[in-house]
Every structure is written in C-alpha cells, then in structure tokens.
Chain A
Amino acid sequence: MTFISYLKDGISLGSIYAIIALGYTMVYGIAKMLNFAHGDVIMVGAFVILTAVTKAGLSPLLSILLAVVLCTVLGVVIEAVAYRPLRKASSNLAVLITAIGVSYLLQNLALLIFGADAKSFVTVIDVPTLVLFDGQLTIKGITIVTIAACIIIMCALTFFVNKTKPGRAMQAVSEDRDAAQLMGVNVNSTISLTFAIGSGLAAIAGLLLCSAYPTLTPYTGAMPGIKAFVAAVFGGIGSIPGAMIGGILLGVIEIFGKAYISSQVADAIVFAVLIVVLLVKPTGLFGRNIQEKV
C-alpha cells in the first residue's frame, strides 16, 4: 500500500509539473525558444487570482477568468515587445537571454507591488478528498482536478495543433517561418497566438500550483518553471503528450527518490534519472528522432 500511496503522491506532484510543462512546451515547440519567463507568468496568474478573490472580492470563477485574460494579454505583450524584434537575430540565444530579463522584470515588479512576504493561497477550488480502501489511500481533490485538467488540456492542445488550421500554421511556422509566410500564414499572429495559449495556460497552472501548494511569493514560479523545462525536455521537445508524461514521471521519480533512497539527495536523483534516460533516448521519451538528410 505504501508503494501505491507514494505513486499517488508522485502523480499528484507530477501533475503539477505536467500542467506547467504543457504551457511551456507549447511556446517551446512552436516559437523554438526557451521562455524562461513562463514560470513568472504563472506567478502573475496566481497573484491575480489571489488579489481578485481576497482584495476585490470577486468570485473564484470570475477571478480565474480574469487571470487567464490578463496572463494571455501579458504573454502577447511580452512577445511583441521583447521577443519579436529578436526573431531574426543571428543566434537564438539572444531571445533566451531577453526572456531571462523579462523573468527578472516580472519578479521585481511583483516584489514592488505585492511585497516579499510569503502569502498563503486561498481555496479557490473546493473539491472533496477521495478516500479509498478504508482510508488507506486518500486522493486530494486538487490532485483529481489537476490530473483532469492535464488530460483535457493535453487532448485539446493535441487536437488543436494537429487538426486545426491555426495548429497546422503553428507547426509550419516552427519548421520554416519564411516558407510558412509564403503559404499565407501570418507568422506574427501565429506566434502571438502561441504565446497567448501558453500564457493562458500559465494562469491555469498558477491556479493549480498554488492550490496544491498554497504559498505564493514573487519567486514562486521560478523553480517550477525550470522543472517544467526539464519535464518538457524529458518528454521530448515540442511533444505535447511528452510534456504531460514527462511532468508526471518527474514527479513520480522525485517522490520515489525521496521515499526509497534519500530525501536529502532527491534532487540529484531526479536529475540523474533524467540524464540516464536522455543518454538512452537522446531526444526524450516522445521526441521525434529527426535524422538530418545528408
């Protein structure tokens, strides 16, 4: 039973990584950039919800909606102002560094506005805990919600990217921007759309992250952002199911590492497993192994 229970814990934690990784991988796969500010958009989303609920007294649903809208706008604005001018830069590292600048900017703005003190997140999602096997296994409501959200978002994104026209356009843009343009794809708006979706999902991720681990500071998004990056790579860059599976596995490994090896070196264990997996499968679990035509 303890094994099952640990597995459940791992999946709960992993589902949080997964939900962040889904938004991350969207931008990562299409715009071909590591958006280091993604984690901070998550933080902004969480702060918006918290402020809307506690200070403005909005209903939870309305607050979430507000956060999604604001984060979407934020994502689009960031892309237009800070990333778009660098789209044709001679190295794609340039935009990576700018993303880091944006990350600092969001953190420090939040610091000035909300202060440094950690705040507890309020209960926005109220789903009862599931009790199984006479209380031997309990699954928290938020976990169920997160996993459900993950699956829904994963399916929706997969469908969107593969089966809809804007989705196809996104893939074309990720392959070859100029050629996509020649096909009539508006590259700017496609990338904006990508950021809009990614950032909207960040707001949801912020909600779920802070509901599961109810603490919030201006730096709350940074570490989960990195872990989501790890999860996205783990699953295979640009692969939507990969992001989800990568996230969940990351969580499970972390929990098993703590449970069966040592809680002091759990981080090292997670990363060591990641390395081993990548050495065996160099493009991640679901990454396509693109052979270069010589």
Chain B
Amino acid sequence: MAMLEVNNLSIQFGGLRAVDGFHVSIEKGRLYGLIGPNGAGKTTIFNLLTGVYKPTEGVIRLDGEDITGKNTIEINEAGIARTFQNIRLFGAMTVLDNVKVGLHNHYKYSTLAGILRLPSYFRKEKEMNEKAMELLKVFGLDGEAEYLASNLPYGKQRKLEIARAMATEPKLLLLDEPAAGMNPNETAELMKTIHFVRDNFDMTILLIEHDMKLVSGICEELTVLNFGQVLCQGKTAEVLSNPQVITAYLGE
C-alpha cells in the first residue's frame, strides 16, 4: 500500500477552485516531485495535506490512516512535516533551538521537570542536543548552532527549515521550493543532501520545485498540476517529455 494516498482533493476560495480533484499515490521511500505553473495550486495542496486548509472535498490517507480534516498538529503527529515557500523559522531563536522545537514531541519531559531541573531534564536535553546536532551536521549547519536563525543567509535558512521538519521524525516530508534563491552550486549540494536524507532517514519526500535541474536530477516520479488539476503523472523522464507539460510549464 502506498504511503500517501490522496483522492479527489479539492478546495474552493470564493469563486476560485484552487485545487480540483487532485489525486496522487506515493510509495514509501519515493522521492516525488510536484510541479506546475505558478498559481497552479501546489502550495495549496501542501496546505491541505498539513491541515492548514480544510478541503472542500476529498480524502487523504497516510499509511492507510485517514487524516482528512485533522488539524496541523494532529497531522504532524501522524507523520507529515513540511517546509514553507516563504521561509518560516523561529527567527529570534538559535539554530539549535529551532531544531529542538522540532524534537519537541519526541523527547518529552514535564514542564515541572524543566523548571525544577530534575534529572529527566538533563537527560533529555542532552539527548536532544545530540540529536539536533546530528541533524544540523547533515545540513552543514553545526558550525552555526548558536547563531540566531534570522541571521543566517537565505540558503542556510532553507536548510534549517528542512532540518527542523526532519526533527519531527516524519514519514513524509514536504518541501516547498527548497532550492528557491539558491545558486546552481548550492542547489547541487542541496540535491545531494535530499538524497542523503531519503536514504539514511528512511523517509518519503514530496517536493515542489521550479528548478528543473533539481527536479530532473532527483525526483523519481512527478505530478504536474495545472489550474488546480492533475495534468500528468508518472516517471520523471516521461512526464518531462510530455508535450502538454512542455506547453503548460516548461516552455520551448
């Protein structure tokens, strides 16, 4: 059974049907791409998957569990984490703390233990630090652990967002334009990292991207969205050579 099964997902904003009958099925461990013209509804689909918006219609199943209509927190607990198109870090907190917030639901000790500095506090904090540093290392951010997140350059902020999302130990990771604002070198490096993450952290990844180099370089399957509807679905190479996709999205 697929990790993520979406059927007939739709949402209406006033007169605009931003997502219309979207469906997708993503196998466990896949690196899956969601592409499409600007305004096609890609980010909106992420918002639907993560409970930021409630769908007007449709069903979302994660690992067989129906998560349609759940709120963001429940969905995160169910195993979906995401990054945002317009970066949303905890700007006034350190890089390390950003990741530790991501670890929140996996390394628990009570508030009282935190205030009274009971042994569980020290134990868990130590574990959290170790885990967080491990994640930061994956993204080459370990040197900046004590920086304020808002002081990081743009590219590193994007990476930190991924690290934070991964800290919640999701089954499915949603990345919204992870390479935006990066130059080709940085993008190439990011591609390697995404691969590494998928392979070493046992994750399924669904990403939105406009950088074709990244899409063709790492995505195994693609869905192309146009005007809220699925235009085409399938293996990356096939999709990218589909004439409809070329006229609607790729050009030339």
Cβ-based interface call for B43 (8 A): yes
Complex interface: chain A residues within 8 A of B236 (CB) = none
A-B contact count (CB 8 A): 4
In the complex, per-residue mask of B36-61: 1 if CB is within 8 Å of any chain A CB, else 0: 00000001000100001000000000
Query: CA separation between A289 and B52, bound complex, in Å?
Result: 16
Chain B, interface residues (CB within 8 Å), range: under 10
Q: Does B249 make an interface contact (CB < 8 A)?
A: no
- How far is A294 from B84 in the complex, measured between Cα atoms in Å? 7
Contact residues in A for B43 (Cβ distance below 8 Å)? 294
8 Å CB contacts to B: which residues of A193-214?
none
Complexed CA–CA distance, A294 and B50 (Å): 11
Contact partners of A294 in chain B: CB under 8 A = 43, 47, 52, 84
Within 8 A of B (CB), among A102-160: none
* CB proximity of A90 to chain B, nearest CB, Å: 10
* Count, chain A residues at interface, CB 8 A: 1
A252-294: CB near B (< 8 Å → 1, else 0) gives: 0000000000000000000000000000000000000000001
Smallest beta-carbon distance B165→chain A, Å? 14
**A288: min CB distance to chain B, Å:** 14
| Chain A proximity mask over B133-175: 1 for CB below 8 Å, otherwise 0 | 0000000000000000000000000000000000000000000
Tell me the smallest distance from the CB of B195 to a CB of chain A, in Å: 27
State the Cβ distance, A74 to closest chain B Cβ, in Å.
36
Q: Which residues of A contact B84 (CB under 8 A)?
A: 294
Q: Write the chain A residue with the least CB distance to B92.
A: A90
Considering the chains assembled together, what is the distance between the CA atoms of A294 and B47 in angstroms? 7
Complex: A294 Cα to B48 Cα, angstroms = 11
Residue of A nearest to B47 (CB): A294
Q: Residues of A contacting B52 with CB < 8 Å?
A: 294
Q: How far apart are A200's CB and chain B's nearest CB, in angstroms?
A: 39
Report the bound CA distance from A209 to B224 in whole Å.
64
**What separation, in Å, do the CA atoms of A294 and B43 have in the docked complex?**
8
CB distance from A294 to the nearest CB of B (A): 5
Complex CA distance for A278 and B52, rounded to whole angstroms: 22
Distance, CA A294 to CA B42, complexed state (A): 12
Q: Mark B76-93, 1 if CB is under 8 A from A, else 0.
A: 000000001000000000
- Closest chain A residue, CB of each to CB of B13: A291
Contacts of B47 in A (CB 8 A): 294
Query: In whole Å, how far is B151's beta carbon from the nearest beta carbon of chain A?
Result: 13
CA distance A63 to B84 in the complex (A): 58
Residue of A nearest to B46 (CB): A294
The docked-state distance in angstroms from the alpha carbon of A294 to that of B52 is 8
Q: Residue of B at shortest CB range from A90? A: B92
Q: Shortest distance in angstroms between B164's beta carbon and chain A's nearest beta carbon?
A: 16
Which residues of B56-112 have CB atoms within 8 Å of chain A's CB atoms?
Answer: 84
- Considering only residues 219-272 of chain A, those with a C-beta below 8 Å from chain B are none
CA–CA, A294 and B11, complex, Å:
15
Chain A: minimal CB distance from B242 (Å): 30
- Measured in the bound complex, the distance between the Cα atoms of B21 and A68 in whole Å is 61
Q: In the assembled complex, how far is the CB of residue B216 from the closest CB belonging to chain A, in whole angstroms? A: 28
Residue-wise interface mask of B (10-54) relative to A, using a CB-CB cutoff of 8 A (1 in contact, 0 not): 000000000000000000000000000000000100010000100
Q: In whole angstroms, what is the CA distance A83 to B239 when docked?
A: 57
Nearest A-chain residue to B176, judged by Cβ: A294
| Complex CA–CA separation, A148 to B102 (angstroms) | 57
Smallest CB separation, B34 vs chain A (Å): 16
Q: CA–CA, A91 to B86, complex, Å?
A: 22
- Please measure, in the bound complex, the distance between the C-alpha atom of A16 and the C-alpha atom of B84, giving whole angstroms: 47
Q: How far is the CB of A284 from chain B (nearest CB, A)?
A: 22
Which residue of A has the minimal Cβ distance to B88?
Answer: A294
Min Cβ gap A54→B in Å is 54
Shortest beta-carbon distance from B42 to chain A in Å: 12
**CA of A294 to CA of B174 in the docked complex: distance in angstroms?**
14
Q: How far is the CA of A67 from the CA of B52 in the complex (A)?
A: 52
* Identity of the chain A residue whose Cβ is nearest the Cβ of B53 in the assembled complex: A294
Min distance, Cβ A176 to any Cβ of chain B, angstroms: 14
Residue of A nearest to B52 (CB): A294
A214 vs B68: C-alpha distance when bound (angstroms): 62
A9 to B209, CA, bound (A): 62
Q: Which A positions have Cβ atoms within 8 angstroms of B?
A: 294
Residues of B in contact with A (beta carbons under 8 Å apart): 43, 47, 52, 84
4 contacts between A and B (CB under 8 A): A294-B43, A294-B47, A294-B52, A294-B84
Query: Top 4 A-B pairs ranked by shortest CB distance?
Result: A294-B52, A294-B47, A294-B84, A294-B43
